[in-house]
């Protein structure tokens, strides 16, 4: 023990020493050139005349640099004739020459579009104006405008052709981020994130009652969005191909904040958010439920109706389970940052604590993170640095993994949340067999959570032996430990007895590390600017997990396996690894600042492929023409900058199954000992996928940069697409085999896909005066996806929580990925002739179908009339069967659009952000289940609309000719006590709704206290207070909780889009925040 | 100068660029072996075929087996949960979950059998030829067993002999039913020649298992396309020959006590009665897919399982099964009755041992007082709940088991089936037989049940005997289908007049009798549903037809020359 403490102390001392090493040079004296004198001055904004605080003033060609005070005053040693470079975020860079006077006042003009920004691209940086590829940038300012738990939340609506959907509103949950259309059929469609060189490809969000992941947060959830300086979204092929195989889905380059030379700056902020509950689903109250149950009983479809339901008229509203589950809760976030440094060393240290109580009982997310970014210019020719972030997250997932939201919608109102004695309310004896459990009790009793601890960071070394030549080496890595705890205790709730305690603990870790070295040489000869880079990178990743599970705990108070019944305990472990080695080169050439040409090539070798197919080469070429630099354009003086871009390149994909080339076996227990079964059909010939993209675009800046227009058109053609080559079941494969006697289909280079679309971004500053500024901007995107080649149509049957598999999603050639399929309902049968003259409604058999008009064995008045669309020969055949199942909804938007506008007046700033999606369809699975009479079981509640179920005038077979529908005009079919002879359960277009929406995503009003008031409290440099509302309103026809229904990965290999089954909703929230700068 | 420095720098860079070792990119899976390195010894081959007895069959061993074999077969009642009432009414939609489960299980068995066979064929040098052949024979036995179910359930189905080769064969169609049976017979014949007569590991199939199955396959095929109730004599002779070989030469015998067949003490782990020719062997301590889930679906009261399951209150003996047992002529058949179903007043000392055994409460059967009602609105239905495979809590069964996990194996094929098939093969196309050999084996099944022997037997005697002997073992529909092959009129008439409604058990001076609910669920009457040639075969799962529309096209002849030699 003593030794441990000692070691801890050593580590602490070591860290402190390292920190001091970086900071100490702060105090070091700077040498002053001969003839230098003190120059003082003030920096003011040209348009408003107000002082600009914090600008950096550097003597050109030296490392002599100072920072202006809050009042814009500065003081620097410089000699006459030297040039001072003044830079400040949001203003155009300016150079002035030191004259004889000791006073130098500088006016800076607003740079509305940061034309001089340097953009982070793959393995390097580039001036924004020198780009020849489609790259979008998202600034820190954009990211912090909305209230975000994770980075992905912050990306919503910020860049064209980046389609972000929060698949679950579970706090901390990862989102689906798709850049330029989905690029895979059975793989991971997520973009690559490069966080200061650390490559992270988060797993796509998983979902579904029978497909729940242990946790919903991904590795990005550990990153504090406040630490981000900028995000570059690499979309064009010339930009992504430097990542070769990893770049196929687009790349998000995330750069964190670094310190700046000058005075040490402290910031501290707090945010408090009140989250509202969602709009509830319209289910029956007690009185309506009692009436409904009595009607079922009369039809022979309900027995054991509780006596207390006897007279509905005297009943109250009963239990409203949704309002019992959803609550108004708080999200709070506190953060601090310290940054500063000298001309040699800079530092940025920050931390945040975020705690979000979920709006549903039993859910929540907490994060604590710290970051240290240090940079040191050790000598004239050597620079090194380190960036490191450590985080801890805690994710409570009772609600999502206990299917609590669906239970709360479907639980009947006769049961109380709690009994008068304080115990949980449960079903009566008569209901016990099919009764649902008490969702609120479950949310409280279960204990299902994940704890993660992670480190992400890297070190680098730059050596510049001669001007323009940089030899850059870096080592990056991330390591995440995750502990998953599941404890579901035994309970007795009313007459519902669950005698089984089940629990498990899983400890897993995964890491990724890379080592890359590159040599970059930039030089300029007359009008020719050349930039060349070659590099090498080696990556390795691995994972391990250890799991123990047990049942029948001797007590519910100790949640450890030590008290589980030893005979029920199982342990298992697994691990795996993979590697990649790459060479890459980039050559850029700019002539006369007009013509830009760039070539990139990368060669990747991956452990995912066999020795013969291991390496793939990914080239790209791009060109740009700054037409505005041409003499003939000078007459159009209102154009500041106009650039046309064209690019072509090939990216790749390794697939996500490193073992597809092997014939894997998996262990299966037998009474004779451990056995092994084949896990998959191997494909030793698997090779690289090729994504060939073309991009045409332009950048236009005009009217003194007050209007910026960026447009891009792209086409991506994917060949040799790696997919799980599924076929008919008789071939014995399964989409997610490798367990339970199921073999996985082979992974093959069989598929093909095209994506095309365009995106346009417009940013304008319509009004700018001394005190008032109005900015408005937005983007518009269209992405079209089409599958061009497949082994066999890929049908994903979704298994809902009621075990229904009617929700089916079809991917076939000529269509976008994952279309919603179902039947077409034409109404309900009104009378005998209506049935007689219509197609036979079911094939409950093979052979020749027969029309049966019968209340028990066939079709009857009040049954759903399905449209006869097709038959075995492609023509309507008078029988409703699988041939009549058709595509009833395209879940992909026709276009998406976002609009952001801000008004600032003196210290006030009002920001309004709209986001919209148009033309997609959503499958409202929750409504489908709860609108079927008897659909979720006899003791379930239903939507209010179910009360309008069809009532035939007779259910006696003898009355077939005369029976009529007594309550026409509704869509709910009749109630059949035994079976569903007409197949009314089949999903139809009635359950598909428009997913278009326009959401006022955020409104924020902030006030920055003017400097003059701060003089009274000298310790503050700035105080900003804000109030904001998020998800203010949504204009939509969708009837579920929230139309923002994303894409999720189902059973590991297929992707389901636009299906809403008890999705954890995103809700309206109100926030207040205070940010202090010292 | 500049150039020189640049070159120096580049060289320096290249120095660091010196790539990784070749092995850096070689990353075989770490958690489990691969086929290329695994099958090296005789023991490895046994470990490779062992799981063919459980995991792949898992989706079948549960609701699918009960739904097809017993509910559709007319031995079991059910409620309408998830639309399963359709199995009573012969109106099963193509979207039914049990259809999907069974279909997927059988094809998984075939795929696993084919891939394991491929792996064994290419096994390393350490494995002996006899071990390899025996392993291959197990694979072919499993493939034949799965095809046996597929053929009887769906009729013509595609013959899959090599999944990898056929994966991209777009010409695959359904094959003629006669070819499917031929394929089954070829597999079983090869299996019988290569399986040992006894195995080192109890429960694995032997030469006798294959011969018994072969006889059964011949017996089924004898009726294929039979006219006027006549079967093919040559196939009947083969069936007779191979059953006789098992009866006379195997040395296997029936377990003395019928009840004990369905207890963990006699049939779990590696304890296997000689009577079990083919079974599924579950592992209570293993993962979900090697658990026997029958009891959780069948037990009528959670107090029986004590693991939170026991959702079988809606299942129960069908009226036809009740009629048999309540018929005074069969009152002696109480050994099997007690093993098949729970009747009022019965006592089971081996269930809930801790509380002194399980007494079946008579009040349970008084209308309106039942604790575990069937679904919705059938007034309060009574029925005799299912006993077979209901064995009680883990504590009652050696401490092993848990929720959806009972400590017992599943019979797929028992020696008594061979006995009855033998009698049937001898009966052949005659109306009745008094052949001593036939009577001997037929009556030995009855003798164990404690009931009187018969002196002359007809086809319907054998059919009835199977109905009772294998009740709730997932057999009945397949036996019916065998009959339907050669006498569709009689078979359809049997189902179409079979009482499939609900009933109440009432007592008259302590003697139970049953009353039926009619179509309105109130009046006393008989509920029947018509079966037609259209509903005699199951429909293909709807999802499969969307992916494989070729299944709706007429079957074609199979080219047997494609089979590997």
- B554 touches A at CB < 8 Å: no
In terms of Cβ atoms closer than 10 Å to its own Cβ (0-12, 13-18, 19+), residue A379 is: exposed
∠ CA B431-B433-B436 to the nearest 5 degrees? 170
pLDDT class of A713 with cuts at 50, 70, 90: very high
In this prediction, residues A489-514 reach a mean pLDDT of 89
Say if residue A185's pLDDT is above 70. Answer: yes
**Which residues of chain A neighbour B286 with C-beta distances below 8 Å?**
570, 668-669
CA distances to A657, A685, B49, B169, B180 from B115, in Å: 20, 18, 11, 17, 20
A949-996 pLDDT, tens digit per residue, is: 999 998 888 898 999 999 999 999 998 876 788 889 899 999 999 999
Looking at residue A903, what is its pLDDT? Answer: 94
Q: Scanning every residue of chain A, which has its alpha carbon at the shortest distance from the alpha carbon of B378?
A: A300
Cβ contacts of B18 within 8 Å, gap of 6 or more:
none
B115 or B373, which is more confident: B115
- B538 touches A at CB < 8 Å: yes
**Which residues of chain B neighbour A671 with C-beta distances below 8 Å?**
203, 269-270, 281, 283, 409
Whether residues A881 and B545 touch (CB distance < 8 A) is answered with yes
- B406 touches A at CB < 8 Å: no
Q: How far is B531 from chain A (nearest CA, A)?
A: 10
Torsion of Cα atoms, B272 then B273 then B275 then B276, to 10°: -10
ipTM: 0.91
Looking at residue A1052, what is its pLDDT? Answer: 75
∠ CA A1034-A1040-A1044 to the nearest 5 degrees? 55
Looking at residue B512, what is its pLDDT? Answer: 60
- A808 touches B at CB < 8 Å: yes
**Which residues of chain B neighbour A581 with C-beta distances below 8 Å?**
19-20, 24-25
Q: Scanning every residue of chain A, which has its alpha carbon at the shortest distance from the alpha carbon of B94?
A: A844
In this prediction, residues A34-39 reach a mean pLDDT of 78
DSSP letter (8 states) at residue B70: I
The rounded distance, in Å, linking the Cα atoms of B402 and B395 is: 10
pLDDT class of B376 with cuts at 50, 70, 90: very low
pLDDT class of A11 with cuts at 50, 70, 90: very low
CA distances to A602, A874, A1061, B9, B99 from A1058, in Å: 36, 28, 10, 54, 28
Give the 3-state secondary structure of residue B245: helix
pTM confidence score: 0.84
Instruction: Output b/e per residue, A130-168; b: 16+ Cβ within 10 A.
Output: bbbbbbbbbbbebbbbbbbbbbbbbbbbbbbbbbbbbbb
Q: Are strands A570-591 and A595-606 parallel, antiparallel or unpaired?
A: antiparallel
Looking at residue A712, what is its pLDDT? Answer: 95
In this prediction, residues B14-29 reach a mean pLDDT of 70
Looking at residue A808, what is its pLDDT? Answer: 92
DSSP letter (8 states) at residue B262: T
Looking at residue B85, what is its pLDDT? Answer: 80
Looking at residue B336, what is its pLDDT? Answer: 95
The rounded distance, in Å, linking the Cα atoms of A674 and A670 is: 6
Task: Find the range with the poorest average confidence among A43-47, A155-159, A688-692, B552-556.
Answer: A43-47
Which of B29, B113, B315 to substitute to test the interface with A, most A CBs within 10 Å? B29
The minimal CB distance from A570 to the residues B52, B103, B285 is found for B285
Say if residue B9's pLDDT is above 80. Answer: no
A840-889 pLDDT, tens digit per residue, is: 887 655 456 778 888 877 899 999 999 999 887 788 988 888 889 999 99
Looking at residue A96, what is its pLDDT? Answer: 87
A204-263 pLDDT, tens digit per residue, is: 888 888 888 888 888 889 999 889 999 999 999 888 888 887 888 899 999 999 988 878
CA distances to A154, A155, A233 from A138, in Å: 10, 8, 8
- A810 touches B at CB < 8 Å: yes
Most confident of A16-25, B276-285, B529-538: B276-285
Which of A611, A668, A885 to substitute to test the interface with B, most B CBs within 10 Å? A668
Give the 3-state secondary structure of residue B147: helix
Say if residue B60's pLDDT is above 90. Answer: yes
Residue B396 and residue B353 in contact, taking contact as beta carbons nearer than 8 Å: yes
The minimal CB distance from A519 to the residues B9, B54, B97 is found for B9
Task: Find the range with the poorest average confidence among A293-307, A333-347, A1034-1048, B205-219.
Answer: A293-307
* Nearest one of A484, A482, A464, A486 to A473, comparing CA atoms: A464
The rounded distance, in Å, linking the Cα atoms of B19 and A1078 is: 49
Q: How far is A535 from chain B (nearest CA, A)?
A: 7
Whole-number average pLDDT of chain B: 87
Determine how many CB atoms are found less than 10 A away from the CB of residue A769.
10
**Which residues of chain B neighbour A301 with C-beta distances below 8 Å?**
376-377
Which of B13, B67, B314, B316 to substitute to test the interface with A, most A CBs within 10 Å? B13
Whole-number average pLDDT of chain A: 87
Residue A746 and residue A731 in contact, taking contact as beta carbons nearer than 8 Å: no
A96-143 pLDDT, tens digit per residue, is: 888 888 888 888 877 666 656 788 888 888 888 888 888 888 888 888
B21 or B450, which is more confident: B450
Q: Determine phi and psi for A1008, rounding to 5 degrees.
A: -105, 120
The rounded distance, in Å, linking the Cα atoms of A1043 and B508 is: 63
In this prediction, residues A1046-1069 reach a mean pLDDT of 88
Q: Which chain A residues in 633-662 lie under 8 Å from chain B, judged by CB atoms? A: 658-659, 662
CA-only gyration radius of chain A, Å? 32
Looking at residue A21, what is its pLDDT? Answer: 40
In this prediction, residues A188-200 reach a mean pLDDT of 91
Q: Scanning every residue of chain A, which has its alpha carbon at the shortest distance from the alpha carbon of B372?
A: A433
B68-96 pLDDT, tens digit per residue, is: 999 999 999 887 777 788 888 888 878 78
> pLDDT exceeding 90 applies to what percent of chain A?
46
> pLDDT exceeding 70 applies to what percent of chain B?
88
The minimal CB distance from B46 to the residues A672, A681, A804 is found for A672
Residue A705 and residue B77 in contact, taking contact as beta carbons nearer than 8 Å: no
Whether residues B110 and A677 touch (CB distance < 8 A) is answered with no
Residue A757 and residue A181 in contact, taking contact as beta carbons nearer than 8 Å: yes
pLDDT class of B363 with cuts at 50, 70, 90: low
- A469 touches B at CB < 8 Å: yes
A745 or A22, which is more confident: A745
Q: How far is B204 from chain A (nearest CA, A)?
A: 10
> pLDDT exceeding 70 applies to what percent of chain A?
94
Looking at residue A5, what is its pLDDT? Answer: 41
Looking at residue B379, what is its pLDDT? Answer: 40
Q: What beta strand segments (E) does B299-437 contain? A: 316-317, 341-342, 347-348, 358-359, 385-386, 410-414, 432-433
In this prediction, residues A635-647 reach a mean pLDDT of 91
Q: Scanning every residue of chain A, which has its alpha carbon at the shortest distance from the alpha carbon of B157?
A: A730
The rounded distance, in Å, linking the Cα atoms of A142 and A154 is: 8
B468-479 pLDDT, tens digit per residue, is: 999 999 999 999
- B110 touches A at CB < 8 Å: yes
Say if residue A657's pLDDT is above 80. Answer: no
The rounded distance, in Å, linking the Cα atoms of A158 and A811 is: 29
A401-428 pLDDT, tens digit per residue, is: 888 999 999 998 988 899 989 899 888 7
The rounded distance, in Å, linking the Cα atoms of B163 and A1051 is: 22
A878-905 pLDDT, tens digit per residue, is: 888 888 999 999 999 999 999 999 999 9
Q: How far is CA A622 from the centre of its chain?
A: 30
Cβ contacts of A912 within 8 Å, gap of 6 or more:
A900, A901, A902, A1000, A1002, A1003
In this prediction, residues A434-455 reach a mean pLDDT of 90
pLDDT class of A15 with cuts at 50, 70, 90: very low
In this prediction, residues B160-173 reach a mean pLDDT of 88
- B525 touches A at CB < 8 Å: no
Looking at residue B397, what is its pLDDT? Answer: 94
Whether residues A517 and B17 touch (CB distance < 8 A) is answered with yes
Q: Are strands A83-87 and A56-59 parallel, antiparallel or unpaired?
A: antiparallel
A444 or A768, which is more confident: A444
For A810, the token pair is: 């079809």
């Amino acid at each position: 023990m003593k030794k441990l403490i000692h070691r801890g102390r050593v580590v602490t001392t070591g860290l402190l020493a390292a920190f001091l090493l970086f900071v100490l040079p702060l105090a070091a004296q700077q040498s002053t050139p001969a003839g230098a004198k003190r120059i003082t001055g003030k920096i003011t904004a040209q348009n408003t005349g107000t002082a600009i605080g914090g600008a950096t003033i550097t003597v050109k060609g030296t490392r002599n640099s100072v920072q202006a005070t809050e009042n814009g005053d500065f003081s620097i040693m410089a000699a006459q004739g030297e040039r001072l470079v003044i830079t400040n975020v949001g203003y155009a860079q300016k150079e002035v020459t030191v004259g004889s006077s000791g006073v130098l006042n500088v006016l800076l003009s607003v740079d509305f579009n940061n034309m001089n920004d340097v953009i982070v691209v793959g393995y390097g940086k580039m001036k924004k104006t020198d780009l020849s590829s489609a790259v979008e940038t998202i600034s820190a300012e954009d990211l912090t405008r909305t209230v975000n738990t994770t980075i992905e939340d912050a990306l919503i609506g910020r860049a064209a052709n980046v389609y972000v959907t929060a698949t679950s509103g579970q706090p901390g949950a990862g989102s689906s981020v798709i850049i330029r259309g989905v690029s895979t059929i059975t793989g991971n469609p997520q973009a690559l994130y490069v966080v200061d060189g650390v490559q992270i490809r988060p797993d796509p969000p998983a979902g579904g009652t029978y497909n729940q992941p242990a946790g919903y947060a991904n590795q990005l959830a550990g990153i504090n969005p406040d630490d981000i300086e900028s995000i570059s979204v690499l979309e064009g092929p010339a930009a992504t191909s430097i990542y070769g195989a990893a770049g196929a889905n687009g790349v998000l380059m995330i750069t964190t904040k670094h310190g700046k030379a000058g005075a040490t700056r402290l910031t501290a902020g707090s945010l408090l958010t009140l989250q509202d509950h969602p709009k509830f689903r319209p289910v029956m109250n007690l009185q309506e439920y009692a009436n409904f149950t009595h009607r079922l009983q009369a039809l022979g479809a309900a027995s054991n109706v509780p006596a207390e339901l006897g007279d509905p008229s005297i009943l109250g509203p009963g239990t409203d389970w949704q309002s019992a589950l959803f609550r108004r809760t708080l999200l709070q976030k506190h953060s601090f940052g310290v940054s500063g440094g000298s001309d040699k060393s800079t530092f940025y240290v920050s931390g945040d604590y975020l705690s979000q109580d979920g709006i549903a009982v039993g859910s929540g997310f907490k994060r604590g993170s710290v970051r240290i970014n240090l940079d040191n210019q050790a000598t004239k020719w050597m620079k090194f640095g380190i960036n490191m972030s450590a985080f801890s997250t805690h994710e409570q997932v009772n609600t999502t993994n206990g299917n609590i939201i669906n239970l709360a919608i479907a639980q009947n109102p006769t049961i109380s949340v709690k009994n008068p004695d304080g115990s949980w309310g449960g079903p009566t004896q008569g209901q016990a067999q099919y009764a649902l459990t008490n969702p609120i009790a479950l949310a409280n009793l279960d204990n299902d959570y994940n704890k993660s601890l992670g480190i992400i960071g890297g070190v680098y070394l730059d050596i510049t032996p001669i001007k323009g030549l940089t030899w850059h080496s870096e080592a990056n890595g991330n390591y995440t430990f995750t502990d998953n705890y599941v404890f579901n205790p035994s309970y007795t709730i009313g007459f519902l007895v669950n005698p089984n305690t089940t629990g498990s603990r899983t400890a897993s870790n995964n890491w990724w590390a890379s080592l890359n070295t590159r040599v970059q040489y930039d030089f300029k000869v007359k009008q020719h600017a050349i930039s060349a880079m070659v590099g090498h990178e080696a990556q390795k990743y691995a994972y391990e997990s250890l799991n123990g599970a047990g049942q029948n705990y001797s007590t519910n108070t100790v949640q450890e396996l030590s008290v589980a019944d030893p005979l029920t305990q199982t342990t298992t472990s697994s691990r795996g690894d993979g590697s990649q080695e790459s060479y890459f080169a980039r050559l850029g050439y700019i002539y006369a600042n007009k013509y830009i040409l760039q070539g990139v090539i990368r060669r990747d070798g991956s452990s995912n492929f066999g020795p013969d197919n291991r390496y793939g080469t990914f080239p790209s070429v791009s060109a740009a023409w700054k037409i505005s630099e041409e003499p003939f354009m000078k007459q159009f003086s209102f154009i500041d900058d106009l650039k046309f871009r064209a690019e072509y390149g090939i990216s790749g994909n390794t697939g996500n199954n490193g073992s597809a080339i092997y014939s894997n076996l998996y262990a299966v227990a037998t009474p004779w000992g451990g056995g092994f079964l084949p896990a998959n059909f191997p494909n030793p010939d698997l090779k690289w996928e090729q994504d060939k993209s073309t991009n045409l675009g332009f950048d236009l800046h005009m009217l003194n940069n007050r209007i910026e227009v960026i447009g891009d058109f792209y086409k991506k053609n994917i060949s040799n697409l790696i997919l799980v080559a599924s076929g008919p079941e008789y071939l014995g494969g399964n989409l997610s085999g490798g367990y339970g006697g199921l073999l996985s289909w082979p992974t093959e280079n069989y598929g093909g896909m095209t994506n095309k679309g365009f995106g346009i971004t417009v940013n304008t500053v319509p009004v700018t005066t001394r005190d008032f500024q109005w900015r408005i901007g937005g983007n518009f995107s269209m992405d079209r996806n089409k599958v061009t080649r497949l082994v066999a149509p890929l049908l994903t049957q979704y298994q809902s929580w009621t075990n229904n598999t009617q929700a089916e999603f079809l991917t076939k050639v000529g269509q976008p990925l994952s279309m919603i399929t179902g039947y077409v309902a034409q109404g309900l049968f009104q009378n005998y002739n209506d049935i007689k003259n219509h197609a036979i409604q079911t094939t409950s058999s093979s052979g020749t179908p027969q029309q049966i008009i019968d209340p028990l064995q066939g079709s009857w008045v009040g049954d759903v009339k399905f449209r006869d669309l097709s038959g075995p020969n492609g023509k309507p055949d008078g029988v409703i069967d699988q041939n009549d199942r058709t595509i009833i909804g395209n879940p992909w938007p026709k276009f998406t659009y976002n609009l952001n506008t801000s008004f600032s007046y003196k210290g006030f700033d009002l920001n309004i952000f709209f986001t919209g999606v148009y033309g997609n369809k959503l499958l409202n699975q929750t409504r489908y289940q709860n609108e079927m009479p008897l659909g979720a079981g006899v003791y379930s509640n239903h939507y209010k609309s179910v009360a309008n179920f069809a009532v035939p005038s007779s259910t006696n077979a003898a009355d077939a000719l005369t029976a009529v529908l007594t309550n026409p005009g509704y869509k709910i079919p009749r109630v059949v006590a035994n079976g569903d002879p007409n197949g009314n359960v089949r999903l139809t277009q009635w359950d598909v709704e428009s997913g278009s929406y326009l959401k006022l995503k955020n409104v924020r009003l902030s006030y920055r206290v003017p400097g003059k008031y701060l003089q009274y409290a000298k310790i503050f440099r700035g105080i900003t207070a804000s109030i904001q509302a998020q998800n203010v309103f949504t204009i939509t026809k969708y009837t579920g909780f929230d139309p923002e229904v994303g894409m999720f990965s189902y059973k590991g290999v297929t992707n389901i889009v636009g299906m809403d089954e008890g999705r954890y909703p995103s809700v309206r929230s109100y926030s207040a925040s205070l940010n202090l700068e010292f | 100068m500049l150039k020189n420095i640049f070159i120096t720098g580049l060289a320096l860079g290249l120095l660091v660029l010196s790539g990784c070792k070749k092995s850096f990119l070689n990353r075989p899976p770490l958690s489990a072996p691969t086929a290329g390195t695994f099958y090296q010894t005789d023991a490895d081959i046994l470990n490779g075929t062992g799981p063919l007895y459980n995991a792949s069959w898992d989706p079948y061993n549960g609701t699918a087996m009960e739904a097809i074999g017993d509910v559709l077969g007319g031995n079991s009642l059910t409620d309408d949960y998830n639309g399963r009432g359709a199995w009573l009414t012969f109106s099963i939609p193509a979207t039914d979950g049990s259809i999907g489960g069974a279909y997927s299980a059988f094809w998984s068995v075939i795929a696993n059998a084919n891939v394991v066979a491929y792996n064994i064929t290419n096994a390393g040098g350490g494995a002996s030829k006899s071990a390899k052949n025996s392993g291959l024979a197990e694979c072919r036995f499993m493939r034949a067993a799965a095809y046996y179910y597929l053929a009887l359930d769906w009729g013509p189905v595609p013959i899959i002999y090599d999944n990898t080769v056929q994966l991209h064969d777009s010409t695959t169609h359904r094959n003629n039913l006669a070819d499917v049976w031929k394929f089954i017979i070829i597999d079983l014949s090869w299996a019988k020649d290569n399986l040992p007569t006894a195995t080192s590991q109890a429960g694995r199939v032997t030469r006798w298992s294959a011969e018994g199955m072969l006889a059964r396959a011949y017996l089924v095929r004898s009726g294929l396309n039979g006219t006027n109730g006549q079967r093919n004599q040559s196939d009947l002779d083969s069936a007779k020959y191979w059953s006789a070989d098992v009866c006379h030469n195997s040395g296997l015998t029936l377990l003395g006590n019928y009840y004990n067949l369905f207890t963990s003490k006699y049939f779990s782990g590696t304890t296997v009665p000689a009577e079990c020719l083919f079974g599924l062997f579950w592992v209570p301590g293993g993962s979900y897919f090697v658990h026997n889930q029958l009891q959780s679906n069948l037990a009528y009261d959670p107090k029986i399982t004590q693991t939170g399951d026991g959702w079988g209150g809606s299942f129960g003996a069908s009226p036809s099964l009740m009629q048999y047992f309540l018929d005074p002529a069969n009152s002696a058949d109480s050994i099997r009755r007690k093993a098949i179903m729970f009747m009022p007043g019965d006592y089971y000392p081996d269930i809930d041992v801790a509380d002194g055994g399980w007494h079946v409460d008579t009040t349970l059967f008084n209308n309106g007082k039942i604790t575990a009602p069937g679904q919705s609105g059938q007034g309060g239905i009574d029925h005799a709940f299912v006993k077979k495979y209901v064995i009680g809590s883990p504590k009652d069964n050696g401490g092993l088991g848990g929720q959806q996990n009972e400590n017992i194996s599943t019979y797929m094929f028992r020696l008594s089936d061979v006995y009855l098939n033998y009698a049937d093969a001898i009966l052949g196309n005659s109306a009745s037989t008094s052949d001593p050999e036939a009577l001997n084996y037929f009556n030995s099944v009855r003798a164990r049940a404690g009931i009187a022997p018969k002196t002359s037997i007809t086809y319907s005697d054998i059919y009835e005997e199977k109905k009772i002997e294998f009740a709730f073992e997932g057999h009945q529909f397949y036996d019916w289908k065998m009959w339907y092959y050669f006498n569709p009129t009689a078979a359809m008439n049997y189902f179409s007049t079979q009482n499939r409604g609900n009933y109440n058990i009432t007592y008259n001076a302590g003697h139970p009798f049953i009353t039926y609910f009619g179509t309105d669920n109130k009046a006393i009457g008989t509920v029947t549903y018509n079966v037609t040639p259209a509903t005699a075969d199951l429909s293909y799962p709807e999802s499969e037809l969307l992916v494989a529309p070729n299944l709706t096209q007429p079957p074609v002849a199979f080219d047997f020359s494609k089979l590997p030699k």
